[in-house]
Structure 1
């Protein structure tokens, strides 16, 4: 009998060992596949079992959480959803996350190990700390001024602080309410289908994910390249530029919108946006010089994140001389995001320094304790400081007495550059109206804001669509909002 008991005990021990081995296999080796299995809802239930952390603008949350009482308990809510949608993105129980909701998802959902004083214990218990908060760099008044200025028209606005790279406004229009996508019911499905069918693409972030021909606003880059290369040494000297200008190697003649551009000085050409002068300057500077300066400003950089990704602005590096002439006036296949052109304007305002743009000032735990800060940001020199000084002078002339007078702010120094970009087959599309600018208040030691505005569908006759007429007033409103705050 003792022998049979011993055999049974050994057999039970083997069964227990096999059970432990199998449990270890499931818990350690195969846990990843079980977690990733679409049928496993434990992760989703845990994710939505507590309120999500908030995204803050000016110290005030622009997001929230609503208790639904359902299995996926908390849904995301938004204050002024369309106003901040290009910044927050959406957090949907069905369609995932975008923009700051995506970039900060671990912190906002409470799964970031930095939120817990005992992260290893959380790994064992699969517990979650309360969601943290994301504090943005946005200026609430500037954001509203940009949104109100676009007034539903297709377009975008980006504003940055030149001395730091802080993003002060980021608006895309038309917009949408991300709260419509938060839940998992039929209403969210209908909203998703409607938004994706909309030909105006309200979910497209035109400020950072759409590139446009920058038109004459790119002449800031061309002027910087020509001045740095020594092609131009005197702002008031004649440039020996014919009008019209025959594109090199072709019979195509480039013309200007107005008269007085033949042999115009760089100051006059910049003030009145002479295509012929800048096309020739680009050719005289050469492809290598133009490419070097464009790259220094941020063109062809695919690594920009604020912290979500930004579409790369492009300057072609394999152009013939005729194509280079057109690229130097922001046409041909030169493309830029509004954020990139705000960076160009900011570099002029900041002595030639291009500051890396950023949208998150800091992240915090629910109680307000700081988790991480933006810290020091890398910068690069886009042009000589002397070149930046002369470009500030040229841009100030544009606003004082040139094509950008609609951007003038009493008591402030304002610099700007207008642009009207042709596009479409045979340039048949409605032109894009551009304006880039910077502003320095009466008591400010340095410029406080740089802005880029693009309006896609100006509601006017084609011949009346200009950057100075349509985009400059929006830029002025944004700059005034920053200076007044």
Structure 2
């Protein structure tokens, strides 16, 4: 072979070897990467080639599947989609999946290895999709949604004994079935949702942190009774708090919402009853931010990985504050931030005699035949306060419901505790204040429920915005549904 031919042969040999090496590298080392690439159309074709498994509420499916007649043979459908959207999230042929649809995607589409049976491999048969059973009580969910309708807000109801999420509502909501397919109408529905100024696709119950306002005083009260028993021996001892409270190092004083309320030197019980800012601002300065941070974190603040199993936005108690800011943070302002889920955890721990159970939204995962592949048991998150301190806070919160700012939430036959509040919104409180309501209830059998609700915006005039009048009815409706 002459030299030119030999060079061409060697060149072709090198090219063949390179091609073989590239193919081998892709098949053996990059196969999983390409297989799981979300832009791989085969993934969507495979996922929607058969009916999906369902998400269950009270044992009944709130999801389904419908034939499309297209390449993507089935698409997700939803029963009462806007009602359950904060629970289910969405599963879209174009836009992916969120919430429980996303967390348990492999169970719901049948690709989870736990669903496979020996016969499936022999018959080259895809395992039947599994189901996700939630902890949600349909009555509680419907009650909260109906009470919030027409308002921008959210609410969460927890079972204090187990941490189970009984209801999670966010309004305005959206219909996840409107863009579950891949037709032009689905794209149009998605575009409309994305452009909506009210952002209905945000789960305000657990994915949006806002200033908690006066309900945060429960955390400060817990810290005072726990870390300064000499100064705050019980909820009925005087606190030596000036009204209005002079902010340290400034010429400004912090007033109370009601200047006629008996907040001067008030007890913690009276301070809860009338939501006295002076008492809790002074307590924050007396205790110091490190102690309050310690207590807040026991309740779940500053936890960046709170998964229920959907990850919640972090609720924040700030650090590095000066004394005036420290005082303002003691009444739930400054840079305090909390989700309704977080505030429901505070109420839950108080109602459960000081033990906080980790919130959980799913009871069990089952295969296509209904056999359990994984069950979830209640787990303790922390013990923020002792039973003695918890019962003292329960007593003070009962006073709020019987003769304080939360009387509108009284429910015949139930013992109710509450803490109302509004939180400033915007620079110099230029926005409409947020109305908060924190509560728990117990029936004669000892069964309990804890609820946190917030109304961010409603038709009420600014002067009429209050936790008791706006957010209270939402909490009341959910507590009644849970216990009556």
- Quick check: TM above 0.5? yes
Following superposition, the deviation at residue 376 of structure 1 comes to: 4.2
**2:173 and 2:200 in contact (8 A); partners too:** yes
Match of 2:397 in 1: 395
Match of 1:89 in 2: 89
Match of 2:375 in 1: 373
Please give the root-mean-square deviation of Cα atoms over the aligned residues, in Å. Answer: 2.1
Match of 1:245 in 2: 245
Following superposition, the deviation at residue 181 of structure 1 comes to: 1.2
More displaced 10-residue stretch of structure 1: 77-86 or 453-462: 453-462
Following superposition, the deviation at residue 207 of structure 1 comes to: 0.3
Structure 1 unaligned residues grouped into runs of 5+: 1-16
Which of 383, 387, 399 is the matching residue for 1:385?
387
Match of 1:310 in 2: 312
Match of 1:11 in 2: none
**2:135 and 2:361 in contact (8 A); partners too:** yes
Following superposition, the deviation at residue 39 of structure 1 comes to: 7.6
Following superposition, the deviation at residue 251 of structure 1 comes to: 1.3
Residues 240 and 63 of structure 1: CA distance in aligned 2, closer, same or farther (over 3 Å): same
Cα distance per residue 1:151-193 (max 9 Å; x no partner): 1310000010001100000010000000011011111111111
More displaced 10-residue stretch of structure 1: 18-27 or 157-166: 18-27
Give me the whole-angstrom Cα distance separating, in 2, the residues matched to 1:347 and 1:84: 26
Following superposition, the deviation at residue 457 of structure 1 comes to: 0.8
Following superposition, the deviation at residue 35 of structure 1 comes to: 2.9
Residue aligned with 1:456, SS: strand
Which of 354, 357, 361 is the matching residue for 2:356?
354
Following superposition, the deviation at residue 320 of structure 1 comes to: 1.4
Which of 402, 419, 422 is the matching residue for 1:420?
422
Give me the whole-angstrom Cα distance separating, in 2, the residues matched to 1:388 and 1:65: 47
**1:158 and 1:338 in contact (8 A); partners too:** yes
**1:437 and 1:450 in contact (8 A); partners too:** yes
Which of 147, 150, 153 is the matching residue for 2:151?
153
Question: Structure 2 length as normaliser, TM-score?
Answer: 0.92
Question: Structure 1 length as normaliser, TM-score?
Answer: 0.92
Following superposition, the deviation at residue 257 of structure 1 comes to: 1.4
Following superposition, the deviation at residue 18 of structure 1 comes to: 12
Cα distance per residue 1:277-312 (max 9 Å; x no partner): 110011111111111101111000011011111001
Residue 128 (structure 2) pairs with residue 130 (structure 1): yes
Residues 22 and 455 of structure 1: CA distance in aligned 2, closer, same or farther (over 3 Å): closer
Matches within 5 A, 1:289-304: 289-304=291-306
Match of 1:64 in 2: 64
Residue aligned with 2:49, SS: coil
Give me the whole-angstrom Cα distance separating, in 2, the residues matched to 1:469 and 1:161: 24
**2:437 and 2:452 in contact (8 A); partners too:** yes
Matches within 5 A, 1:23-422: 27-32=27-32, 34-35=34-35, 40-118=40-118, 121=121, 128-229=126-227, 230=229, 231-258=231-258, 259=260, 260-422=262-424
Match of 1:8 in 2: none
Give me the whole-angstrom Cα distance separating, in 2, the residues matched to 1:254 and 1:60: 52
Give me the whole-angstrom Cα distance separating, in 1, the residues matched to 2:328 and 2:204: 24
Residue aligned with 2:435, SS: strand
Give me the whole-angstrom Cα distance separating, in 2, the residues matched to 1:480 and 1:266: 28
Residues 222 and 184 of structure 1: CA distance in aligned 2, closer, same or farther (over 3 Å): same
**2:355 and 2:380 in contact (8 A); partners too:** no
Match of 1:5 in 2: none
Following superposition, the deviation at residue 317 of structure 1 comes to: 1.8
**1:433 and 1:458 in contact (8 A); partners too:** no
Following superposition, the deviation at residue 52 of structure 1 comes to: 0.3
Give me the whole-angstrom Cα distance separating, in 2, the residues matched to 1:435 and 1:37: 44
Structure 2 unaligned residues grouped into runs of 5+: 1-16
Number of matched residues?
Answer: 464
**1:326 and 1:332 in contact (8 A); partners too:** yes
